[in-house]
Chains A and B, each alone.
Chain A
């Protein structure tokens, strides 16, 4: 028994350490920046306008992304078709694209010179112009709808297929089935998914500006950028970063208030064999094809644009690909380590505590990357040369940014495994080691694979703080891409984008597939 108590204490300390690190990472970086300036600064009317626009566009973009993701995920959950697995993998793609690549891909389809405009032109119609708030939302839906779909699909996969069979045999109507079986799952999945997507839209800045059509598209992140870069008003930058925290905290609190129904069963992640499959074929495939087209056309344009220039790439691309790969692997291990440590430590605590932990977990995403980078720089600078720490800092920041996604995937899975197997453990007097290695981890392989895939791909695509801590000899793929663009070499940059997309997707696929294979064997 004493061993058990010690194990519990160790776990609590481990989880607590991660929480403290997260708080230090987010709040202390803001504090460091504020202290370097003259405390917090006051905001002008344009700053408040930016705050309003940010909240408005983030709510609209998130609502639309999550709203569309529900029927798409439902369609993917119950329909089987050729290429389904490939499409699910591709859902991970837009999320990991460097912003500029994604925007150019979208414009190749929806832009003034895009495919749709060219088509309209043929019929003598006006060209499409998406610039403005509608374009910003379109772009955010492009970047985030696939991710939301992936999350909600996980939820559908967790419903035991027996339930539908039982419901069918009892003659339950589709609407009743939805209310009794699917709605509880959605109620559990949606708040967390909404929160994550909201945060991604909240901190977006280049997308909003590039397609926003002018200073109306100013987000808080751009205002932070301005106060830091143009005015060197660190106080104002910290105030804006705090406002970003407050918005995120408010939305998180709302998400917390919604009570979670207990997930009381497990799916096998199989396609549901349900009676309503046939009757909904048309609607389902409508959703699937529109989403797939919306997703694949811009991606295809990126690949078509870049692939022919691949032979022109200098050898430096190999080094950059290698650097990106191992930074991604380090940050993935860090991220998964932190997520597991948190989830295992708090798996048996009450629902409210678990939700609080998840909220602290999202701090990494609620913080302005520029403020985090600057804060870390200020904290490291008195003790060491920041440049010499470029790799660990970049890996750590990437891990922190990916942590909310990993937690979102792992936490429910661990919680459910505990609920289902804890009695077995007690009755067999299983040791902690056996419990962890023989019961918990095998049951986690699927969510672990997905979480690791997300973390790795996210790290790969992120320009990250490496630009701020620039070590001249260390070039990642995103950095190389931006440098090529900055040197007029748009063709070669497009080719690097292809390498980046291919490498990120491959890594995502290996982790995700690895997890899925392990689960079924």
Chain B
């Protein structure tokens, strides 16, 4: 008797699961970790959608795009969330994404206008240091100083690529000579953000390439006000993180519903203190205390996706040449 009940229970349970539509979202790994936005986002969306939201992590943004390219149109993913504007050009070229109608009152500096992707958060790259250090005012001053910095490799890291673009946006044709001047300030170049930030916290360098929002983590989560970022007068390069819908999705309506949810307060409220980035739409409650301010548009540097794609290879060669001396 017990066995029959158990069997029936299992059967009914699996039938119930089968009736629930499943929305599969591919994102970068740190989004779905216990300390990222993933768990809260999943709970909030599942509370309203009557669906099962499955978030699958795949490395970082660039690895995420590689994964989608490997899977092609047979991917089980409905949504890809976590590409940035350095990747969206290549992502559009794959033809795997379809246009979306998601719209919101974005607070992304410079605005947002793209039919394939919608932004969910953004940030500025910056050098983070201890408050007892006087910030250099710009790259030139940094290069002329004895300050030691740790940066990430543009070939393997998102911030690393961001810095490459930042120097290019600020210095154009003079980027190569700036890198040559910076060479003696660079302690080392790590494969990823975690190594660099970890080494900085252990005291291996005066400054580390990170985000303007990094000090906010220490202030809000740890009550530690000992970190700040160096505000550069050339402006700061931006990273805008976006999501898109795959043309091969079998959950079209649900995917649209998720994208609308993504730009709503329910999702955007979660972002600042879990992803430590600026929300793409400032929620009604505003930003938490301790969060930095957005910079004026003139100080918010960014290349369009197609410019970024066109510049990358050349900028990388300049970087390699200058630092391999």
- A residues neighboring B (CB under 8 Å): 36, 46, 49, 100, 103-104, 107-108, 111-113, 129, 131, 205-206, 209-217, 222, 225-226, 228-230, 232, 314, 316, 374, 377-378, 381, 385, 387, 467-468, 470, 472, 482-490, 493
Contacts and interface: CB of A to CB of B under 8 A. Distances in A.
B195 A470 contact: no
A214 B188 contact: yes
A209 B320 CA distance: 13
B63 A229 contact: yes
Interface stretch (B133-141, B148-156, B235-243, B250-258): B148-156
A464 to B, nearest CB: 13
B74 to A, nearest CB: 7
26 contacts: A49-B324, A104-B202, A107-B199, A107-B202, A107-B204, A211-B188, A213-B187, A214-B186, A214-B188, A214-B189, A216-B323, A217-B189, A222-B156, A222-B191, A229-B156, A230-B154, A230-B155, A232-B90, A387-B56, A470-B57, A472-B32, A483-B29, A483-B36, A484-B33, A486-B193, A488-B276
Nearest to A209: B191
Interface string B198-237: 1101111100000000100110010000000000000000
Contacts of A113: 202-204
Interface string B52-81: 001111110011011001110010100000
A485 B59 contact: no
A215 B66 contact: no
B180 to A, nearest CB: 12
A213 B34 contact: no
A483 to B, nearest CB: 4
B315 to A, nearest CB: 12
A489 B153 contact: no
A209 B55 contact: no
B34 A483 contact: yes
A321 to B, nearest CB: 15
Contacts of B214: 488
Nearest to A212: B188
B325 to A, nearest CB: 9
A482 B194 contact: yes
A108 B202 contact: yes
Top 8 nearest A-B pairs (CB, nearest first) are A113-B203, A487-B35, A485-B194, A483-B33, A226-B155, A486-B30, A214-B323, A470-B57
Contacts of B199: 104, 107, 111, 210
Nearest to A488: B217
B29 A467 contact: yes
Nearest to A471: B56
Contact of A488 (B57, B197, B205): B197
B319 interface: yes
B248 interface: no
B29 A486 contact: yes
Interface of B: 29-30, 32-36, 54-59, 62-63, 65-66, 69-71, 74, 76, 90, 148, 153-156, 161, 183, 186-195, 197-199, 201-205, 214, 217-218, 221, 276, 312, 317, 319-320, 323-324
Nearest to A489: B35
A215 B186 contact: no
Contacts of B183: 214
Contacts of A103: 195
A325 B69 CA distance: 33
A225 B156 contact: yes
Contacts of B63: 229
A374 B76 CA distance: 17
Contacts of A381: 70-71, 74
Nearest to B193: A486
Given A113-B204, A222-B191, A387-B56, A484 B153 contact: no
A222 B190 CA distance: 11
B198 A104 contact: yes
Given A113-B203, A316-B34, A490 B56 contact: no
Nearest to B69: A232
Nearest to A112: B204
Contact of B323 (A111, A215, A467, A493): A215
Nearest to B199: A107
B318 to A, nearest CB: 11
Contacts of B55: 472
B15 to A, nearest CB: 20
A469 to B, nearest CB: 9
Contact of A216 (B190, B203, B205, B324): B324
A67 B53 CA distance: 55
Counting chain B CB atoms within 10 Å of each CB, which of A100, A211, A230, A378 scores highest? A230
